[in-house]
Amino acid sequence: MSGYIQQEEQNFGQQVLLRTKSRGIWWSGKCCWCILGTAVYYCITYFVTALFALFRQGFQPGLSAQLHELLSHIDVSGIGNKNIFVILVLMPVILSTGLMLFQLLISSIFNPLVSMVVQTVILSVSGYFCTPFLPGNYLMLMRLSPVSGENIKWEYGISYGILLIAACLLTGKIYYSRKDLCGLNYKQNLPRRGK
C-alpha cells in the first residue's frame, strides 16, 4: 500500500477527485479502500484457518493450552474464552488497519520509501522493547498481559488502534485540504527553459 496513494495522485485519482469535488471525500475513499483491503485479508485468513481446523479435528473455538505450550512454549491458560475473540480476531484487525493508514499517510506526506522505513523501524523496535507505546507489542500473543504479566493489555491495544485510525483520517484530511493535487501533473510536465 505504500505507493498506492502517490500513484492515485498522479493518475486516475485526479479524475475521481474532480468528480467528488471534495478532497476530504477523496481522502476518505482512499482510507476506506485500505480498510476494506485489510478486512478482506483477515476474513480470508480466518476462513482458511477455520476450514483447515474443521477438516483436521473438528472445529473447536478457543486455544488449546497444551498444544500452544508444546509448539511455542507460551502458557495461554490465562486467556479466558471471552477474551479470545478480542485478542485473536478483533485487535489484530484494528491495529493492522491503523498501521496501514499510518503508512498511507506517511507515504502521502513524504514518499513510499520513507513510509516503509518508518513502518519497519516501528515494528522492529516493538520486538526489542516491551512497552505499551509501541503497536507491535499488541500483535504478539506472548507480550499480552494475560500471558506475560506485562502492562500490555488488549484494552490499550484496541484504544491505540482506534486512536491511530482517527488520527490518520483527520491528519490526512487536513493535509489534503491544503495540498495542490490538480497542479501536480502540470508542474511535472512543464518543459524546461531553453528546450
Cell digits of residue 147: 500471558
Whether residue 180 has pLDDT greater than 60: yes
Task: Tell how far CA 107 is from the center of its chain.
Answer: 14
142's CB contacts (< 8 A; 6+ apart) are 72, 74, 148
User: How confident is the model over 33-80, as pLDDT tens digits?
Assistant: 889 999 999 999 989 888 887 777 665 655 555 555 555 566 666 666
105-163 tens-digit pLDDT: 998 888 888 989 999 999 999 989 988 888 988 888 777 776 666 778 888 889 999 99
Q: Which three cell numbers stand for residue 153?
A: 493489555
Cβ-contact 152, 138 below 8 angstroms: yes
Q: Is the pTM of this model over 0.85?
A: no
Q: What is the SS3 assignment for 62?
A: coil
Q: Which of 66-78 are b and which e, b meaning 16 or more Cβ less than 10 Å from the residue's Cβ?
A: eebeeeeebebee
pLDDT of residue 190: 42
The pLDDT score that the predictor gives to residue 16 is 66
Q: Which amino acid is at 10?
A: Q
